[in-house]
Amino acid sequence: MEVILKQDLDNLGYADEVVKVRAGYARNFLIPRGLAAIANETNKKILAETVKQRAHKAQKLKGDAESVAKQLESMTLKIGAKVGESGKIYGSVNALQIADALAKHGVNVERKKIHLDEDHIKALGNYTATVNLHKDVKVKVNFEVIAE
């Protein structure tokens, strides 16, 4: 069954995209929750008109995301953490701390759009994270975990 997504869904697609899913998943999960609509001829025509109107706005947003990506590539974030005597940090560094560090530099990114390249960061050192700024713009951000 083909459906038109109303918002971005991980592992499925982006908003205003026609995707093929199983009929039960569409009828029982996506459509009742307002995440998708059935992709019939009428809805496809409405989608085509909507996409046409949003094209200019989307191009501007992508350009803004690319400029932020260039800024982030050259930047190395410093994230402070409490360290024990053995050199291990208490807890672990997560996407929320990276989002806070980015906000200090004037870049507001949701923590859900930040994916750490390593599962658990529990030691001092240099690491990278992938930030999804736009559906076509992903950037690797370097950060260093330092002792407070």
Give per-residue pLDDT as tens, 88-130: 888 888 899 999 999 998 888 888 999 998 888 888 889 999 9
Give the fold, CATH level 3, of 68-147: Ribosomal Protein L9; domain 2 (3.10.430)
Say what the alpha-carbon torsion angle 111, 103, 145, 71 is, to the nearest 10 degrees: 100
Terminal CA-CA length for the chain: 54
Residues 23-81 have pLDDT tens digits of 999 999 999 999 999 999 999 999 999 888 888 888 888 888 888 888 888 888 899 88
Give the fold, CATH level 3, of 2-61: Ribosomal Protein L9; domain 1 (3.40.5)
**Residue ranges of domains in the chain:** 2-61, 68-147
Q: Exposure of 28 by Cβ count < 10 A (0-12 exposed, 13-18 middle, 19+ buried)? A: exposed
